[in-house]
Chain A
């Protein structure tokens, strides 16, 4: 049934092409982007940790700030340096506590040096319980062994000399 009963019935498979006829030769296909040497196993197979829609939502909710200007980069590098310096200080306070103790013992007696000495004595004892003094002591022992080496025929080093 059709809307217009006077039209001829529509053939299910029209014999003639509905497109106008081609004039001349058809142009060649563009070069294939198929890479002969490509291996399907080379293709990335890792899926993003966060699904794309979630990442997009994250970017929408918390849009990244503009790239830092020169001032911002300088401030960031200063913070980074300050972190490094603080971390080095803490590292040395833990693993090199004996240096403070040695230093305080070499100073002329006074309120400051005696306070530092007492604090460093307590600190060294506490740190030693955790074994944090061991790396320094191990290096020191190895170094003293190196010190004690002698050429053949030389007098051996006395204990405590090196």
Chain B
């Protein structure tokens, strides 16, 4: 059940009215939202609802055991290392089995063959549960945060289950941490006018980005070019690469916007996940603007525990590389994703070394920094989108090929330019519009939102492709 579908619209209307009708009893309301979330998840594959429940029970039990341990004078829990290790390992085991088993089995087989120890490793056709990377990372952060004392253990199993299963963020994030969401579960949330208008505007804006910009670019330009790069001219390939940069931004940020908007209408607040990433003038800045919930997760639970920048320049560069390589692998079990992470890591290492030499002096003008960063990101997107290194090389080689422009039309060019130009809109535009609409009567707001959705519905292509990040 995808957000921009009629089926989801009907589902959401039911959940909205039913959940607010249960506002007198918070426990019942949470239970209803949990059941609705399981129903939502079961639309993909009902068998994995059990996995979701099992994962939540495990994380709840480990965190509850951690919370029972005594605390030392500095506020750290004593004797919890093995429990944290157990919780993290169990989460990684779930992720590893479903997402990486096939990949590592193939790699191991090839390695053994290279050394002359050919073995028939058992290959399983493991179905990847939707959103597994998101809810396992959420589970890890919950266990670690309870141990660090950043968040108290949940008051009930219901809270942990809802934390991990809440349908707006379940399948493609944002990775909402326990410290953000658990306190909101303590009582029936308050829905304010600002939240409601903000949520409705985010949903309409997300619909536009996903069903118009991302879908059109995907169907008419990006997919045909990446299917057979050798059949297209350099200009078409360049347009497809820029088009993919716009497509993936509009696709993923649309999901995040709609998730935040849907949660807001149910009374819950999710953190922002994108902040005009193509405005970044450095790779470090890019990762503070792109998929913020993942980048901050990687920082807090991987980069900092590795030592972060505390052990000198060289170690900080090594830690950045490790973090970005694993971040790449998180996106998918393929070497192209690892290479994508490696490219981002290497670019950040170069930036760090540059800063250590030149200090805070501005060596590169801001506009040039934006241009360079954007093109490094686009180079990375080629690896990200291509199914193999061979295809990525075909795309790169094809960029220099002369030939007629067959696929790129003025309309598609307009979408690419528009998708990039939206990064230079006022940074908090939706919030600003919501604030201005606050005093307006319900009818005015309804007509505005209705017209916006009608415009999107009138122009969107039939059907809707799954969000790109569902596969992660």
Contacts and interface: CB of A to CB of B under 8 A. Distances in A.
State whether these chains interact.
Answer: yes
Interface of A: 70, 74, 77-78, 80-85, 87-89, 91-92, 95-96, 99-100, 102-103, 106, 135-137, 139-140, 143, 146-147, 149-151, 153-155
A100 B10 CA distance: 11
Given A91-B446, A106-B463, A154-B406, A77 B457 contact: no
9 shortest interchain CB distances as A-B pairs: A87-B446, A91-B450, A81-B196, A139-B458, A83-B442, A143-B459, A103-B6, A149-B410, A74-B190
B422 interface: no
B83 interface: no
Contact of B442 (A80, A92, A100): A80
Given A77-B193, A88-B200, A149-B410, 6 more contacts: A84-B200, A85-B446, A91-B446, A106-B463, A147-B411, A151-B405
B453 A92 contact: yes
A80 B6 CA distance: 23
A81 B13 CA distance: 12
B409 interface: yes
Contacts of A149: 409-411
B332 to A, nearest CB: 29
A7 to B, nearest CB: 75
Contact of B404 (A81, A137, A153): A153
A137 B265 CA distance: 30
Given A95-B454, A136-B454, A143-B458, A84 B449 contact: yes
B450 A92 contact: yes
Contacts of A147: 409, 411
A88 B445 CA distance: 9
Contacts, number: 104
Interface of B: 5-7, 13, 16-17, 20, 23, 190-193, 196, 200, 265, 404-406, 408-411, 414, 442-443, 445-447, 449-451, 453-455, 457-459, 462-463
Contacts of B447: 87, 91
Given A100-B6, A140-B458, A84 B409 contact: no
B409 A88 contact: no
13 contacts: A77-B191, A77-B192, A80-B442, A81-B265, A85-B13, A89-B13, A91-B447, A91-B451, A100-B6, A106-B463, A139-B458, A146-B414, A151-B409
Contacts of B193: 77, 80-81
Given A139-B458, A140-B459, A149-B411, A84 B5 contact: no
B196 A84 contact: yes
A84 to B, nearest CB: 5
A73 B449 CA distance: 23
A80 B454 CA distance: 21
Nearest to A153: B404
B462 A88 contact: no
B187 to A, nearest CB: 11
Nearest to A147: B411
A82 B442 CA distance: 9
A84 B442 contact: yes
Contacts of A103: 5-7
Given A91-B447, A99-B457, A85 B405 contact: no
B445 A84 contact: yes
Contacts of A99: 6, 457
A150 B408 CA distance: 9
Contacts of B451: 91
